[in-house]
Amino acid sequence: MDEFLEKVFEAAFKRESEQDENIVRSLPFFVAALGLVLAIFSQVVVRMPPVGTIASAFLYVLFGSATAIFSNILWCLFQLVRARDFKLPPNEERLLEWADSLQKFHKTGKRTRKAAEELAIVDVRRRLVEAYAEAAVDNRKSNRHKFKYRAQGFMGLVLLMVLASASVGVIFFDKTWRISHGQGATAEAAFPPPHREKRIDRTVRDGEAQASGAGSAD
């Protein structure tokens, strides 16, 4: 029976170890998805409609929701990577010393060497069965905790994608509505891009410099 239980519990321990490694392998996906979402929102920010419009109000609500979800995802990632105690079977050197002491103990009685070794093997196997069972149960609790936060993080990523797509849609419909109502040129003149402001300011300064130069020549 102990031999059978040892195989079962050892397989359970190895399975939980592999599950922990699978959780770590999912971290690059989180990083790539968050980078994509941040890139989308950075493009939305530079194309914000004028402040005070309905579109800008919608975007501010979306940005606030995205910030809250992003913070929750970072908390989930922290729960995945933070250090946890991972139970392992007994140390091999200590187990070997204990097995030798057991064998010497059983030899003290009126037993043959073979009988003492068989009794020591039974005791060691029983200890390994208990160690594998304790480690598998404890590590399964830790993995369930990580699975919970990984699922919560994946759900947050999906919501971030939805909010990013909604932000792009608001920008698109706002621009389309302004063009269809002939407000595209008015909005652009009222809120010119930064490079256009610099170009206009530089042109005015060059004109003033030329005028002052001409006046000095006269």
Q: What are phi and psi of 193, to 5 degrees?
A: -65, 155
d(CA 53, CA 60): 11
Count CA atoms closer than 13 A to 117's CA, side-chain side: 3
Structure tokens at 178: 């302004």
Q: Which residue has the tokens 């929750």?
A: 72
Q: Contact 116/106 with Cβ under 8 angstroms?
A: yes
In this structure, what DSSP letter does residue 50 have? Answer: P
| Binned average pLDDT, 10 residues per bin, the chain of 218 residues | 70 77 82 89 86 86 92 90 72 73 73 76 80 82 86 92 91 86 51 48 53 49
Per-residue model confidence (pLDDT) at position 125: 78
Per-residue model confidence (pLDDT) at position 103: 72
Q: What are phi and psi of 50, to 5 degrees?
A: -55, 145
pTM of the model: 0.64
